[in-house]
Amino acid sequence: MHTIIPAPASIESKAGVFQLERDCPIEAAPEFSGEAKLLAVWLASESTSLPRAASPSGAKRGAIRLVRDESMRDGEGYRLDISSEGILISAKGPAGVFYGCVTLRQLAMENSGSIQAMLIADEPRFSWRGSMLDTSRNFFSVAFLKKYIDLLAFHKLNRFHWHLTDDQGWRIEIDRYPELTKIGSWRGDRRIHGEVRRNGGFYSKADVREILEYCRERHIVVVPEIEMPGHAMAALAAFPGLSCTGGSFEVEDRFGIFEDVYCAGNDETFVFMKNVLEEVCDLFPGPWVHIGGDECPKTRWNACPKCRAAMKREGLKNAEELQSWFVRKAETILAARGKMMIGWDEILEGGLAPGAAVMSWRGEKGGIEAARAGHDVVMTPGEWTYLDHYNTSGPEPLAIGGDVVSLAKAYGYDPVPAGLTPGESSHVLGSEGLIWTEYVPTPAHLEYMLWPRLSALSEVFWSPKEGRDFKEFQQRLKEHAKRLDALDVNRWRPQEERAKFKERP
């Protein structure tokens, strides 16, 4: 039995054991030098129980080799061949080699580096294996983001969906509009878990580049999310003239859905949108930009002379069509910079922009509709993938209401909705584990909500569906939990384990 999470596509046990030693030599083809460097750091810092080399210096020692295999498919697949003589990781390119190294990283953390000989042939089920973090409701430091991102890589997740703007905070520096962060990045004092906190901060462009580089090394694509036309109170606090009423506004300190949104009949809105999105496109190298699009009330638009004039001028029947028109303008701006647009499933209402991908959060319906219309979709229905929901129905720290997303529930999710044809299913790029942080005020609390539910989801996103068994997963999770502990992760624990620990967060 192995304990790897997410479970590899295939494993064959072989006779023999490889004893990993401290400072085991790693030989790598030049194009895999980045992966070799990371692996060396992991083995040195995490596998502290590895024995020193037993053989006298000069004697032949088993080595780890990272090699290119031209015969393999492009992409993220790899082979990991462990024999008593040495370890061979082969793949066509760096992403595959990287995932081979991640598997070895997990194996090296147990049994003092004594690894059963085996042959693993592995590749992911889905190409989009993501995690969304809301850094608007609560700000998280760059140092903490790196810890979180490394844990994504540890689970072979490859999309960091970075929620950067919302009613309660604008978190990304935009050179053209310094007021966005000067005014928009601070929310007022509030009391949570009995503590008053003034929450704020933002990521400078240098911070963002640091995160991008950290993600690049770990084969993670960053998908920035800049919310429009709703969830915009932090931006409107800085630029009230972009609203329908003219304001004034404050950065929201309550949680909810707010009626003041960007005015869709004001040319200034689109100048602002273009300038902001162009800076975002220039900063983030990935192919996608998320424009939000969820929960935009139409109250102000229906009452606004400028919005009504725009509807008339453009021949739009209602405010839903006005939102589609707005979103299409965003898509045009992104397309001119070579980017693809993705948005929450509300962007379907009033007609979907031609090249848009849809993130289906209000159940599976939006994703099914978009896939049937030939659009790519990322399935993120709250019922299974929202990790801000309660872990259990028992005593838990305050969380957003709604369904409990238990470990078993998350593990039981299938991103491909029932009833799609194979052709339609091919539009399901994958899924994410998501977290909104209104009730998640600290890094320790965030980890408590994410782990190990995101470990379970990583297996849903990576591993073959056939043979999935929650009981067997739980067995592997016992060993994996020790790895999370070694990485200082404040994971959620089952009731029977909790008694032994001081309750956190």
* Binding site partner of 294, from ligand ACM, Zn ion, none, Cβ cut-off 5-8 A by kind: ligand ACM
Residue nearest to ligand ACM (CB): 294
* Gap between the Cα atoms of 186 and 179, Å rounded: 11
295 binds ligand ACM (CB under 6 A): yes
Of 155, 161, 219, 231, which one is the catalytic site residue? Answer: 231
Residue 206 structure tokens: 């240098």
263 binds Zn ion (CB under 5 A): yes
The half-sphere exposure of 34 on its side-chain side, counting CA atoms within 13 A, is 15
361 binds ligand ACM (CB under 6 A): yes
Closest contact distance (angstroms) between CB of 341 and Zn ion is: 22
Size of the site for ligand ACM (CB under 6 A): 4
- Torsion angles phi and psi, residue 131, rounded to 5: -145, 125
- Concatenating the DSSP letter of every residue in 26-58 gives EEE-GGGHHHHHHHHHHHHHH-TTPPPP-SPTT
Q: Report the 3 state secondary structure along 240-292.
A: HHHECCCCCCCCCCCCCCCCCCECCCCHHHHHHHHHHHHHHHHHCCCCEEEEE
* Gap between the Cα atoms of 478 and 398, Å rounded: 26
294 binds ligand ACM (CB under 6 A): yes
Query: At what angle are helices 305-314 and 319-336 packed, to 10 degrees?
Result: 80
Closest contact distance (angstroms) between CB of 386 and ligand ACM is: 7
148 binds ligand ACM (CB under 6 A): no
Closest contact distance (angstroms) between CB of 135 and ligand ACM is: 15
253 binds ligand ACM (CB under 6 A): no
Applying CB under 5 A, the span of 75-83, 107-115, 242-250, 281-289 interacting with Zn ion comes to 242-250
Of 123, 166, 167, 424, which one is the catalytic site residue? Answer: 166
* Gap between the Cα atoms of 260 and 9, Å rounded: 49
- Whether 479 is a known active-site residue: answer no
CB nearer to ligand ACM: give 136 or 391. 136
Closest contact distance (angstroms) between CB of 381 and ligand ACM is: 10
Residue 178's Cβ-count burial label (10 Å; 0-12, 13-18, 19+) is exposed
Closest contact distance (angstroms) between CB of 294 and ligand ACM is: 4
* Binding site partner of 306, from Zn ion, ligand ACM, none, Cβ cut-off 5-8 A by kind: Zn ion
383 binds ligand ACM (CB under 6 A): no
* Binding site partner of 295, from ligand ACM, Zn ion, none, Cβ cut-off 5-8 A by kind: ligand ACM
The half-sphere exposure of 245 on its side-chain side, counting CA atoms within 13 A, is 13
CB nearer to ligand ACM: give 344 or 461. 344
Q: Among residue numbers 266 through 305, which ones bind Zn ion (CB under 5 A)?
A: 304
Closest contact distance (angstroms) between CB of 375 and ligand ACM is: 17
- Whether 295 is a known active-site residue: answer yes
Residue choice 36, 232, 244, 460 for contact with Zn ion (CB under 5 A): 244
Residue choice 42, 148, 186, 344 for contact with ligand ACM (CB under 6 A): 344
Closest contact distance (angstroms) between CB of 159 and ligand ACM is: 16
Amino acid, single-letter form, for residue 217? E
* DSSP H helix total and E strand total for the chain: 18, 18
- Whether 282 is a known active-site residue: answer no
* Binding site partner of 304, from Zn ion, ligand ACM, none, Cβ cut-off 5-8 A by kind: Zn ion
Contact status, residue 307 vs residue 322, Cβ threshold 8 Å: yes
Sign of CA dihedral 82, 87, 90, 94: positive
Of 150, 207, 278, 295, which one is the catalytic site residue? Answer: 295
| Residue 402, phi-psi category: left (phi > 0), alpha (psi -120 to 50), beta (remainder) | left
Residue 15 structure tokens: 């006779």
Contact status, residue 325 vs residue 354, Cβ threshold 8 Å: no
Interacting residues with Zn ion (CB under 5 A)? 244, 263, 265, 304, 306-307
Catalytic residues: 166, 231, 295
Interacting residues with ligand ACM (CB under 6 A)? 294-295, 344, 361
